[in-house]
Amino acid sequence: MVHAVEKVAADTPDGRVTAVGLRVGTMSGAIPEALEGAWPIAIAGTRLAGAALSVEVLTAQIWCSSCESIQEVDEFYALTCPACGVGCGNLVHGREFEIAYAEISTPDDP
Ligand SMILES: [Zn+2]
């Protein structure tokens, strides 16, 4: 994850990464609290050092072909529709683990 952000930062060699936003699905296996806890250690000594982390949690959602609608599910429902109980396998959100944004300040910034 840090490497991915460093890659973004590499596009602006003079820049310093000041903030990073992550988008994490509830079924991605990542725990936001753990990410936030590990963040200062992960970025220490990198170009990201001192950058703020913000984690956006995405609730898992499935497309239920029986209800013909998108339903929110939690990890305990697995891929079963909470509305009608039919097992549907079409997860539309929930496995995300991606960089939403990276704020880079350059020395030219006011
Ligand atoms: Zn349903």
Architecture of the domain delimited by 1-59+94-110? 2-Layer Sandwich (3.30)
The residue behind tokens 């963040």 is: 39
pLDDT value, residue 74: 76
Q: In 3D, which of 106, 86, 102 has the Cα closest to residue 3? A: 102
Neighbours of ion ligand 1 (CB under 5 A): 64, 66-67, 81, 83-84
pLDDT value, residue 13: 74
Where do the domains of the chain lie? 1-59+94-110, 60-93
pLDDT value, residue 76: 61
CA 77 to chain centre: 21
Distance 110 CA to ligand 1 centre (A): 53
Distance 68 CA to ligand 1 centre (A): 7
pLDDT value, residue 23: 95
Grouped pLDDT means (10 residues each) for the chain, 110 residues: 74 83 91 93 89 94 92 77 86 91 80
pLDDT value, residue 7: 78
Q: In 3D, which of 12, 3, 106 has the Cα closest to residue 46? A: 3
pLDDT value, residue 57: 94
pLDDT value, residue 96: 93
Distance 32 CA to ligand 1 centre (A): 28
- Paired residues of 52 in beta bridges: 19
pTM of the shown model: 0.76
> Which stretches of the chain are DSSP H helices?
2-10, 32-43
Distance 95 CA to ligand 1 centre (A): 20
Distance 85 CA to ligand 1 centre (A): 6
Edge to edge, the sheet with strand 90-93 lists 69-72, 61-64, 90-93
